[in-house]
Amino acid sequence: MLSQINDVNDNPPRFEVSERSVQVRENEAGALLAKLAVNDSDTGDNARLRFFIRPAGPGRPKGLRDDTGFYRPGEDFLRKHIYLTSTGLGGGGGVAGGAGTVEVSSATAGVAVRVNQPLDYERLPNARFTFDVVAIDYGTPPMSASVRMLVEVINVNDHAPVVRFYRHGKALDPEYAQIEAGLHDHKHSSSKSV
């Protein structure tokens, strides 16, 4: 007697962590934010995974800060600044932008989260933002898991100093402003303006 046991999709993907905190310098396009490993105990299509990025907290309005002060950007920001690549842990894979997907064909997989374009510390609320990386299998029904990414952007010295001229509390045009400095000659008790 020969019997065959077919796998049913009864195991969701499992990331090693549920949350990942990272820091990145504001001018580092291509920087690696994190490598995330995931496992699905099923077999076949039930274990084949795809990954994508979504705004943190589905159903919550974008742009608002959560209780920790992290900004929740929308899909446009994520598509522009964040992308995923397969880490090759399980073979297969690809590259995708924020709204795209990365697909891997193995139950033991991984995904690398990277910065696509430089992040601007000065324009990002609190210089911190959050989003989710989601793994979903091809089983029926599909099962998923996610990791919350908490990203802190580190400021770098990327702006030249600005000199402003004021006289009696009013800003002066820098082309026509004069610098006045007082000199005092202690020996002859006289003051001169230059």
Domain ranges for the chain, please list them.
Answer: 14-154
- pLDDT tops 50 at residue 55: yes
Taking the C-alpha atoms of residue 37 and residue 183, their distance in angstroms, rounded to an integer, is: 68
pTM exceeds 0.75: no
Lowest mean pLDDT, pick from 34-38, 149-153, 172-176: 172-176
Among 51-55, 91-95, 142-146, which is the least confidently predicted range?
A: 91-95
Q: Is the pLDDT of residue 189 over 80?
A: no
CATH architecture of 14-154: Sandwich (2.60)
pLDDT of residue 148 exceeding 70: yes
What percent of the chain stands above pLDDT 70?
71
192 versus 38: which is more confidently predicted?
38
**pLDDT exceeds 80 at position 180:** no
